[in-house]
Amino acid sequence: MRICIKIGTALISRGNRLNYRWLKGKVREIAALQKRGNEIVIVSSGAVAAGMEIAGRTVRPTKTLEIQMMSGIGQVRLMKYYKEYFKPEGIHVAQILLTHHNFSSKNEEATIREIMESYIGAGIIPIVNENDIINKEEVEFQPVFTDNDILAALVAVRIKAELLLILTDVDGLYQGNPKRDRQAKFVEEVELIDHRIEQMAAKESNPLGLGGMASKVQAAKMVASHGIDTIVANGRYPVEQILGRKVTSTLFRAGCPVLRSPGGGGHSL
């Protein structure tokens, strides 16, 4: 199976530092997944948090130039640890930095697809992130990629993934905000992403990130139109258990199901 795995800021960072212990464990899980014959592309957040760690910052900067600086120095550290953690597994990684401009022409899209296919074919895992240094619009005006959720969807479509796996700090989609309403019902499976589903998505975001459940639902909607299923799951669970639907998560079906949902107390919509 070809899987695009998105790792969000809320998982890869702990306050103003990278969560090294979590990342090392997740890399081992992803490596095992690849060794079983799966093809993997990772879309990873965390550069700004890594930069804040280097600079000793405790609060995310608000000025565009400062954010770009944090991202630039942090990206080096982020990739350093991806490289080091995958190395014992015998897996090489490659860095790919993109902006929304890279998807604005067929020639650039073809180039992105060709490069990623070459890496995948060679058993190298591409690590994709947004190029904050170049993409000033993302930093200053509007969250184009919303903590890489939309970027992950764009990448999943271009590489013709079978599954988009979005790892975050919540179990998936609830009919309300579980952080405020403990009675909010969990949604295990979504057959159609319509206005009702979009309204369920919480608008809150992590202080170090830009995305929330709303952007994850939008990403799932984007890839569904291309026949790609999406799973939104809590990254504290092992990837194998998430893919086996053995833990709580939300599956957004694309019409041609890749996976089957488990029985349980959740709801199907």
| Domain that residue 180 falls in | 2-268
Say what the pLDDT of residue 202 is. Answer: 57
CA gap 224, 211 in Å, rounded: 19
Do residues 43 and 11 touch, judged by C-beta distance below 8 A?
Answer: no
Residues 153-182 as b/e (b if ≥16 CB within 10 A, e otherwise) read: bbbbbbbebbbbbbbbebbbbbbeebeeee
Say what the pLDDT of residue 184 is. Answer: 82
Across-strand partners of 194? none
90 pLDDT more than 60:
yes
Give the domain CATH number at 258: 3.40.1160.10
Say what the pLDDT of residue 197 is. Answer: 87
118 pLDDT more than 60:
yes
- Identity of residue 111: T
Say what the pLDDT of residue 108 is. Answer: 87
Residue matched to tokens 């130039």: 65
CA gap 164, 156 in Å, rounded: 6
Q: How confident is the model at residue 92 (pLDDT cuts 50, 70, 90)?
A: very high
User: Rounded mean pLDDT of 104-122?
Assistant: 92
- Crossing angle of helices 149-158 and 106-121, rounded to 10°: 80
Short-list 243, 106, 79, 213, CA closest to 149: 213
Q: How confident is the model at residue 207 (pLDDT cuts 50, 70, 90)?
A: very low
Do residues 173 and 250 touch, judged by C-beta distance below 8 A?
Answer: yes
Residues 89-110 as b/e (b if ≥16 CB within 10 A, e otherwise) read: eebebbebbbbeebbeeeeeee
Among 97-101, 167-171, 196-200, the range of highest mean pLDDT: 167-171
193 pLDDT more than 70:
yes
Short-list 71, 60, 182, CA closest to 134: 71
Say what the pLDDT of residue 16 is. Answer: 79
Q: Is the pLDDT higher at 138 or at 116?
A: 116
Residue matched to tokens 């992403």: 193
Please give the full DSSP string across 218-254, using - where no structure is assigned: HHHHHHHTTT-EEEEEETTS-HHHHHTT-S-EEEE--
Q: What is the DSSP letter of 13?
A: E
Q: What is the DSSP letter of 38?
A: -
**In Å, how far from its chain's centre is CA 232?**
9
State pTM to two decimals.
Answer: 0.86
Chain-wide mean pLDDT for the chain?
85
Which residues, 6 or more positions from 83, have their beta carbon under 8 angstroms from its beta carbon?
A: 92, 93
100 pLDDT more than 80:
no
Give the torsion through C-alpha atoms of 239, 245, 248, 249, to 10 deg.
Answer: 80
Residue matched to tokens 């669970």: 237
Say what the pLDDT of residue 53 is. Answer: 86
The radius of gyration of the chain's CA atoms, rounded to the nearest angstrom, is: 17
263 pLDDT more than 60:
no
Across-strand partners of 2? 39
Q: What is the number of structural domains in the chain?
A: 1
129-183, pLDDT tens digit by residue?
A: 987 655 554 444 444 445 689 999 999 999 999 999 999 988 999 887 777 777 8
